[in-house]
Amino acid sequence: MVTPFRSNEDLDLEGYRSNIDFYIESRVHGLVVGGSTGEFASLHPDEHKEIIKAAVDQVNGRVPVLAGTAHCATRYTIEMSKFAEDAGVDGLLIVPPFYSKPKDDEIYQHYAAVSKAVNIPIMLYNNPFTSKVDMKPELIQKLSKLPNVTHVKESSSDITRIWKIRQLTNDKLIVFCGADNLAFESFAMGAKGWICVGANVLPRECSELYELAVMKKNLEAATNLYNRLLPMANLLEDTGMFAGLSKAGLDLLGRAGGRPRRPMIAPGSLELEQLKEILKSFGKSVK
């Protein structure tokens, strides 16, 4: 989920709650709050806690809620993770400490400390493009042996890693796809889920792709839908404007988006025109 802001960059909690209802009514299978697209690194800790509490309250048990709780310091990752657990989330999404480029043994000790501090599932998050830390399958195998580590969101864009992780962990670790334009390929390689940026704007269509490919095994219908979704997926991945384009799309649909928090900037006219055409291709009325 994006974190909607008002024009003064304050949280738009009313819009946030409204978006949650929109996603659930569109039959998403779960929500992630405070992740990369949720601009967690730009949130004050009090804001981060506020959106976690608001999500749990608004969802009210209708779908699972994962909370991103990452921080550069282990002690603050633990603090936010324990807060999220007490607030009632169903699991945690944790990218490794960034900026300092920790070594493998430091990453291991980080997750080991967090794992020991909580009693709910942890989804590892390997996103080397933003964190500048690449957790290779061999490290992920080691981390999979920690208590509570049950899933991994793989966003390296190396499709072969899904098979490697599954083999190394004997399918103990459930792999989720973390790239919008590799979803169908990831499902074919054995990914069981998908954390999808485009679902901010096209939640029903993205959920349907998962249902067709993974639940119903209807590969022909899944392929056809995936080809329709790829323009959106490629626009997101090619520009890297995950929060900005998602928020712009929500604004175009008359929902709560707003601008990303500075220093990130809103999409330009070229990206907006592409976004409008994509939404129109799905029969959406845009403002």
Tell me if 287 is assigned to some domain.
Answer: no
Tell me if 254 is assigned to some domain.
Answer: no
Tell me if 57 is assigned to some domain.
Answer: yes
Which residues are registered as beta bridge partners of 193? 176
Tell me if 255 is assigned to some domain.
Answer: no
Whole-angstrom CA distances from 274 to 200, 231, 268, 271 are: 16, 9, 10, 5
Tell me if 92 is assigned to some domain.
Answer: yes
Predicted confidence at residue 99, as pLDDT, reads 87
- All residue ranges of the chain with pLDDT < 50 are none
Predicted confidence at residue 35, as pLDDT, reads 96
Compute φ and ψ for 126, nearest 5 degrees: -100, 105
Predicted confidence at residue 158, as pLDDT, reads 95
Q: How many helices (H) and strands (E) does the chain have?
A: 12, 7
Tell me if 213 is assigned to some domain.
Answer: yes
Q: Can you state the percent helix, strand and coil of the chain, rounding each to 5?
A: 50, 10, 40
Catalytic residues, which ones? Answer: 125, 153
Angle at 150 between CA 114 and CA 216, to 5 degrees: 150
Tell me if 210 is assigned to some domain.
Answer: yes
Q: Containing domain of residue 85, as a range?
A: 13-229
Predicted confidence at residue 287, as pLDDT, reads 83
Write the CATH number for 29. 3.20.20.70
Q: Number of structural domains, the chain?
A: 1
Compute φ and ψ for 102, nearest 5 degrees: -65, 150
Predicted confidence at residue 19, as pLDDT, reads 98
Tell me if 263 is assigned to some domain.
Answer: no
